[in-house]
Amino acid sequence: MTAPNPTQSAAAPRVNPLQRLWLRELGMERLWLRPAPRPAVASEPQAVVSKQDSPAMATPGGAPPAPVRDAAPAPAAVASPVAARPAGPGPGLRNGPPPKPAPKPEVAADAAPAPIPVAEAVKNANLDELREQVVACTACGLCSGRRHAVFGHGGQPTRWLVVGEAPGEQEDRQGQPFVGRSGQLLDSMLSAVGMSRERDVFIANVIKCRPPGNRNPKPEEIAACSPYLMRQIALLKPERILVLGRFAAQTLLGTDATIGSLRGRVHQMKTEEGREIPVIVSYHPAYLLRSPAEKARAWQDLKLAARQL
Ligand code: URA
């Protein structure tokens, strides 16, 4: 038998395992045979890791695969839809068929849907359209536990816009703002300064869906929902805004200052069209129910709001 020319290896004939052993014994295997395919153990996890971390590594012409211990999925990959897929009868690590190309479309199919861009959607909505958007909203997790999204309610033209935090249990049941015990107190506070929710006041909340167990709204929920309130302000064009409680005050005024430091003076809020609206901060009625001694201060706030500014 003549020794094979190494340049012919690309066209080398198939050999069976026995022939391969013999060739290895003779020290001719590397001359005769094409390189054996890489074992799956080195390439399969690499595809998962590289999809997450380094696209170049996933390409056939990319950098050589890392050693097996380095190819173990990083924590991020473990959490990814690809890594989390149940292990099926797919390629075994040692003896299975050669690895298949990475299944790219599955990543897109399993990925979470893109969040609804609320800020974009509300831009040109009128009040009825905005209400429909709120009722159908899925921009944060609160939509999964709600009975009703609470858009807000009140008279137009709007003299005062009253802004609370979020619906409670009763509001979630009825789909209307401030209809529980806090709402009864709010109604008497408003009527003490000659205002009525049917005639002069529109009542809304920063958050349109009830947080479970009335917990505090999370920053991401406030961020997801506040474009609705901003659009309500732009459409209702209230003469002034009475803000009840820390969350509403901080959201509308864009501050993390305490309510104690924000109340007792008139703030200005600039709308998208550049109009300035006076904003008065007061305690939330739920807080006043728990701390009736603070009602005197809330009364001062109402008088400030009712003053001709
Ligand atoms: N508390 C609020 O902040 N808003 C409501 O609508 C009801 C209770």
According to the 3-state scheme, what is the secondary structure of 70-82? HHCCCHHHHHCHH
The Cα–Cα gap between 186 and 29 comes to 89
- CA 13 centroid distance within chain: 58
pLDDT of 54 strictly over 60: no
Ligand 1 site, residue 182, Cβ cutoff 6 A: yes
What's the 306 CA to ligand 1 centre distance in angstroms? 22
What's the 277 CA to ligand 1 centre distance in angstroms? 22
The letter for the amino acid at 110 is D
**Closest residue by Cα to residue 143 from 113, 163, 123:** 113
- Position 25 scores a pLDDT of 44
What's the 275 CA to ligand 1 centre distance in angstroms? 27
Tell me the mean pLDDT in the region 203-215: 97
Ligand 1 site, residue 158, Cβ cutoff 6 A: no
- Position 68 scores a pLDDT of 30
Tell me the mean pLDDT in the region 45-70: 30
- CA 141 centroid distance within chain: 8
Ligand 1 site, residue 164, Cβ cutoff 6 A: yes
- The SS3 call for residue 266 is strand
Q: How confident is the model at residue 96 (pLDDT cuts 50, 70, 90)?
A: very low
Structure tokens at 300: 């001062």
For the full predicted model, state whether its pTM sits above 0.75: no
- Position 271 scores a pLDDT of 86
Tell me the mean pLDDT in the region 230-235: 96
Tell me the mean pLDDT in the region 187-194: 96
Burial zone of 44 (CB within 10 Å; 0-12 exposed, 13-18 middle, 19+ buried): buried
- The SS3 call for residue 162 is strand
Which strand ranges, in their side-by-side order, compose the sheet holding 160-164? Answer: 153-154, 201-205, 160-164, 240-244, 276-282, 266-270
pLDDT of 100 strictly over 80: no
- Position 309 scores a pLDDT of 64
Q: Chain-wide mean pLDDT for the chain?
A: 75
Residue 245 Cα: closest atom of ligand 1: 3
What's the 178 CA to ligand 1 centre distance in angstroms? 5
**Which of 161, 171, 173, 216, when mutated, tests ligand 1's pocket best, judged by the most ligand atoms within 8 Å of its CB?**
171
pLDDT of 234 strictly over 50: yes
The Cα–Cα gap between 109 and 254 comes to 38
pLDDT of 47 strictly over 90: no
- Residues 137 and 148: beta-carbon distance below 8 Å: no
- Residues 198 and 185: beta-carbon distance below 8 Å: no
Most confident of the following: 1-5, 36-40, 64-68, 156-160: 156-160
Ligand 1 site, residue 167, Cβ cutoff 6 A: yes
**24 compared with 245, residue with greater pLDDT:** 245
**Closest residue by Cα to residue 196 from 160, 166, 232:** 160
The Cα–Cα gap between 26 and 82 comes to 45
What's the 167 CA to ligand 1 centre distance in angstroms? 5
- Position 14 scores a pLDDT of 55
- Position 60 scores a pLDDT of 33
- The SS3 call for residue 240 is strand
Q: What is the pLDDT of residues 105-138, one digit of tens each?
A: 555 666 776 766 899 999 999 999 999 999 999 9
pLDDT of 249 strictly over 70: yes
Phi and psi (nearest 5°) for 146?
-85, 150
What's the 206 CA to ligand 1 centre distance in angstroms? 9
- Residues 244 and 284: beta-carbon distance below 8 Å: yes
The Cα–Cα gap between 163 and 7 comes to 81
- CA 303 centroid distance within chain: 39
The verdict on whether omega for the bond into residue 35 sits within 30 degrees of 0, i.e. cis, is no
Ligand 1 site, residue 178, Cβ cutoff 6 A: yes
Most confident of the following: 9-13, 107-111, 216-220: 216-220
State the alpha helices, DSSP H only, in 167-275: 169-174, 181-192, 219-236, 246-253, 259-262
Tell me the mean pLDDT in the region 259-268: 97
